[in-house]
């Protein structure tokens, strides 16, 4: 009886990792591609045979109980029953692609879907509901995802006998190498649909139009994606549906421009109103609000209405509404009006005002430009 432990140079209580490491070390030294010597080739066959027995828990258990799997074969040479997956496992710590797998499930997860959704600014600020209508894959109403015509079913594949895979033995310089691949007759399912459903042609799903109402959270902006789990396309054979992603685009508002969670608008004031001050009504997204114009308001001054901006996406806190004052200077005056302004200038000592030139405040102008550009 062979002593496979001695052949690999390991103890009888060696772990699988120790056995694998010992075989890998010897194989790299004795492999015919590395050492063409005839004795080395024979030794390589012996260590390969030893590894095949000791790496298989059942064969190792039988050997430990006194049964040598190769005793009746007269210590047949390397290659008989030694599969490609054993070599892969020894050298790379893995198995050959597809080895050990059974028939795969006919069901597959459906694809994710992406839909555009256009909303107005009010919905973006407060949230709301939106209706969607779209074409997608749904479970076949005739076969209910099974893929077979009603009253029929599937049969076991004649080629792979339900295994979903077939094995092929080829000769190589290592001996007989066994490879495993999915069965081409049943595509790896192990079963064949004998009479496919006439409506879905065996797919278990069909294209149909769906409509649904979704909740749009307050605070969304253009580019925000809303994920709806399990609302995407149904998978093959009635498999689980993918996810539906709804990408939001907010339409431009006639009055307000958005910057983050704040809203901006411009108010054009007559020179007299800016000088004397006044109160003007403004139709905001929350209804009519009064805007107090303080006496002496200058061009570019900003009046802020707290809490009338956009709701933050993940909280109930809202931004502000900023009103940018734009003082309008009259360009056409009749004689009485000119006389009044001359009298005012005289009273204020401004008939010949001293010119005061100052550097442009790029910070203020930049912020205003960005605000009205929606940046």
Same domain, 28 and 134: no
> Last residue of some domain: 62, 92, 122?
92
> Best-predicted range by mean pLDDT among 2-11, 192-201, 244-253?
244-253
Mean pLDDT of 63-84: 51
Q: What is the pLDDT of residue 367?
A: 54
Nearest to 160 by CA among 149, 168, 169: 168
Question: CATH number for the domain including 10?
Answer: 1.10.287.110
Is 265 annotated in a binding site? The answer is no
What digits encode the pLDDT tens for the residues 87-123? 444 444 444 434 445 688 888 899 999 999 999 999 9
- By DSSP bridging, strand 191-193 and strand 154-156 are antiparallel
Range of the domain at 208: 113-148+201-250
Q: What is the pLDDT of residue 89?
A: 45
Residue 187 lies in a domain: no
Same domain, 212 and 292: no
Q: What is the pLDDT of residue 171?
A: 66
The answer on pLDDT for 75 being more than 70 is no
Residue 170 lies in a domain: no
Residue 17: Cβ within 10 Å count: 9
pTM of the model: 0.61
> What does the DSSP 8-state code read for residue 252?
P
> Last residue of some domain: 250, 269, 286?
250
Is 157 annotated in a binding site? The answer is yes
Q: How far from 206 is each of 198, 235, 275, 309, 344, CA to CA, in Å? A: 11, 10, 70, 45, 81
Nearest to 237 by CA among 213, 203, 201: 203
Who has greater pLDDT, 127 or 354? Answer: 127
Same domain, 278 and 316: yes
Share of the chain above pLDDT 70, in %: 82
Q: What is the pLDDT of residue 303?
A: 95
Same domain, 237 and 326: no
Mean pLDDT of 290-304: 93
Q: Mean pLDDT, the chain, as a whole number?
A: 82
Q: Are 113 and 232 in contact (CB under 8 A)?
A: yes
Residue 195 lies in a domain: no
Residue 272 lies in a domain: yes
Q: What is the DSSP string of 81-115?
A: S--HHHHHHHHHSS--TTTT--PPPS--PPPPEEE
Would you place residue 329 in the very low, low, confident or very high pLDDT band (cuts 50, 70, 90)?
confident
| Residue partners of 253: CB distance under 8 A and separation at least 6 | 120, 121
Q: How many domains does the chain have?
A: 3
Would you place residue 365 in the very low, low, confident or very high pLDDT band (cuts 50, 70, 90)?
very low
Residue 184 lies in a domain: no
Who has greater pLDDT, 40 or 366? Answer: 40
Q: Are 197 and 141 in contact (CB under 8 A)?
A: no
The answer on pLDDT for 66 being more than 50 is yes
Residue 154 lies in a domain: no
Residue 219 lies in a domain: yes
Residue 61 lies in a domain: yes
Mean pLDDT is lowest, of 165-179, 194-208, 240-254, for 165-179
The answer on pLDDT for 83 being more than 90 is no
Rounded Cα distance, 279 and 262, in Å: 22
Q: What is the pLDDT of residue 354?
A: 72
Same domain, 246 and 117: yes
Same domain, 262 and 337: yes
Mean pLDDT of 293-315: 93
Question: CATH number for the domain including 144?
Answer: 2.60.260.20
């Amino acid at each position: 009886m062979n002593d496979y432990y001695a052949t690999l140079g390991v103890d009888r209580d060696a772990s699988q990792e120790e056995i694998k490491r010992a075989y890998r070390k010897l194989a790299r030294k004795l492999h015919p591609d590395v050492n063409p010597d005839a004795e080395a080739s024979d030794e390589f066959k012996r260590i390969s045979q030893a590894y095949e027995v000791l790496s298989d828990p059942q064969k190792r258990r039988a050997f430990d109980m006194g049964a040598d799997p190769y005793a009746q074969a007269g210590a047949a040479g390397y290659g008989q029953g030694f599969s490609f997956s054993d070599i892969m496992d020894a050298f790379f710590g893995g198995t050959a692609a597809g080895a050990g797998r059974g028939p795969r499930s006919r069901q597959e997860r459906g694809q994710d879907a992406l839909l555009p959704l256009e909303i107005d600014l009010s919905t973006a600020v407060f949230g709301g509901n939106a209706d969607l209508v779209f074409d997608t894959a749904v479970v076949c109403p005739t076969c209910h995802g099974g893929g077979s015509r009603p009253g029929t079913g599937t049969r076991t594949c004649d080629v792979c006998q339900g295994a979903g895979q077939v094995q092929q033995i080829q000769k190589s310089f290592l001996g007989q190498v066994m490879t495993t691949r999915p069965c081409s007759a049943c595509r790896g399912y192990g079963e064949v649909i004998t009479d496919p459903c006439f409506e879905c042609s065996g797919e278990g799903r069909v294209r149909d139009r769906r409509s649904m109402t979704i909740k749009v959270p307050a605070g969304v902006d253009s580019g925000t994606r809303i994920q709806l789990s399990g609302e995407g396309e149904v998978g093959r054979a009635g498999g689980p549906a993918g996810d539906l992603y709804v990408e939001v685009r907010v339409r431009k508002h006639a009055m307000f421009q958005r910057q983050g969670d704040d809203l901006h608008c411009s108010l054009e004031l007559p020179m007299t109103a800016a000088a004397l001050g006044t109160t003007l009504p403004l139709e905001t997204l929350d209804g009519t609000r009064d805007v107090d114009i303080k006496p002496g308001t200058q061009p570019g001054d900003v009046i802020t209405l707290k809490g009338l901006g956009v709701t933050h996406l993940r909280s109930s806190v809202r931004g502000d509404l900023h009103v940018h004052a734009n003082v309008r200077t009259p360009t056409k005056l009749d004689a009485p009006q000119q006389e009044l302004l001359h009298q005012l200038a005289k009273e204020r000592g401004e008939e010949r005002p001293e010119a005061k030139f100052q550097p442009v405040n790029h910070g203020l102008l930049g912020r205003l430009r960005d605000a009205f550009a929606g940046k």
